[in-house]
Amino acid sequence: MSGFKKTALITGIAGQDGGYLAEFLIRRGYKVHGLIRWDSYVDPQDGLKRLSSLGLTDASMTLHHGDVTDAQSVAALIKQVRPDEIYNLAALSQVGVSFTTPAATLDINTKGTLAILDAIRLLDMERTVRLYQASSSEMFGSAPAPQDEHTPFMPCSPYGVAKLAAYWLVKTYRDAYGLHASNGILFNHESPARGEDFVTRKITKAVAGIEAGSREVLKLGNLDSIRDWGHARDYVEGMWLMLQQDVPDDYVLATGQAHSVREFVERAFEQIGMHIVWSGQGVEETGRDKRTGRLLVSVDASLFRPKDVHHLLGNARKAQDRLNWLPRYYFDDLVADMVNADRVLLWREAGGDSAWKMTG
């Protein structure tokens, strides 16, 4: 007997959700295995920084080199680990980038999912393993808000199309072969561990830098975009809950509150005691400090996407009713958590101690 309650395999374990999920599962007595792409090992300090910041080391879980686009190695890994639960979080997750690398996006986000589904069948594990697929609100695309499990999908990006194909593969294999496979249709979920190429972290890092005097102006693209932003910590719990159900199904996870990028900027600057006043329109729009008139935010045309999703607002009623899932963090707590974490990070990088005094 190993002493572990269950074994989980997480693809994409080095990402934001992978780290929080690994932490969550280890606390629940799971033996956790993670699939790590080769480039996370080129500079392990950087590639595995999210895991180490959560106190997760090689001793607390087992990491395997591999790639979801290599179907044979995926099957070999599943055969070796024999997991009870697989969480497929590996993805090219930057929607903007998917416009410049659409084929790679489909390879990773669609064929990678197919590799896992086929491996489960090949190994005759349909009845012994449960699969969570990281589906996305981006699949709704231009479908009118609010969106739930019955909303027709209208994806607007190669990323959304690739995730939607993977979603349908999961449903098809579930229906055709009886797999316990569930799609979590997750709306945007953020945290201090979010990559700096996503808008929320880009904003909070810039705000902390402006406060510390190491940054001048924050340049952004589409300020009018509206998103339903939750906290990744809440969402990984929802992933786990989906796999604890007797019957597999698809669930939306969202906060049910939506805010624009512009509002995120305002709230983030409020954390450091600055109030933004907007003027101008389109690429000429600027945000200035109300008190001093200092330029803090400008718009950069190169940061706009060829096509953007305008309004995402999720209805997570089904997850509330059937999984008893409710978020703990809403917009204000999320922004505060992220700005404060970036202030502490900057302070530490500058050699300060942890007794950082918040001024906002």
| Closer residue to ligand GDR in complex, CB, 81/220 | 220
CB of 203 to ligand GDR, least distance (A): 8
Task: List interacting residues with ligand GDR (CB under 6 A).
Answer: 93, 95-96, 136-138, 187-188, 197-200, 202, 220-222, 225, 227, 261, 303, 305, 308
- Cβ distance to ligand GDR smaller for residue 73 or 101: 101
CB of 204 to ligand GDR, least distance (A): 12
> In angstroms, what is the minimal distance from the CB of 99 to ligand GDR?
11
- Closer residue to ligand GDR, CB minimum distance, 137 or 191: 137
In the bound state with ligand GDR, the residue whose beta carbon lies nearer, of 117 and 220, is: 220
The partner residues of 252 in beta bridges, in order of sequence, read 185
| Shortest distance (Å) from residue 275 CB to ligand GDR | 20
Looking at the DSSP assignment, which residues form a beta bridge with residue 182? Answer: 132
Q: CB 232 → ligand GDR: shortest distance, Å?
A: 10
**CB closer to ligand GDR, 215 vs 305:** 305
Task: Choose between 119 and 276: whose C-beta lies nearer to ligand GDR.
Answer: 276
Q: What is the 3-state secondary structure (H, E, C) of the chain?
A: CCCCCEEEEEECCCCHHHHHHHHHHHHCCEEEEEEECCHHHHCHHHHCHHHHHCCCCCCCCEEEECCCCCHHHHHHHHHHHCCCEEEECCCCCCHHHHCCCHHHHHHHHHHHHHHHHHHHHHCCCCCCCEEEEEEEHHHCCCCCCCECCCCCCCCCCHHHHHHHHHHHHHHHHHHHHCCEEEEEEECCEECCCCCCCCHHHHHHHHHHHHHHCCCCCEEECCCCCEECCEEHHHHHHHHHHHHCCCCCCCEEECCCCCEEHHHHHHHHHHCCCCCEEEECCHHHCEEEECCCCCEEEEECHHHCCCCCCCECCECCHHHHHHHCCCCCCCHHHHHHHHHHHHHHHHHHHCCCCCCCCCCC
Compute φ and ψ for 195, nearest 5 degrees: -65, 150
What's the closest the beta carbon of residue 200 comes to ligand GDR, in angstroms? Answer: 6
Minimum distance from CB of 188 to ligand GDR (Å)?
Answer: 4
**Nearer residue to ligand GDR within complex by CB, 7 or 93:** 93
Q: How far is the CB of 255 from ligand GDR (least distance, A)?
A: 12
Q: Which is nearer to ligand GDR, 274 or 297 (CB)?
A: 297
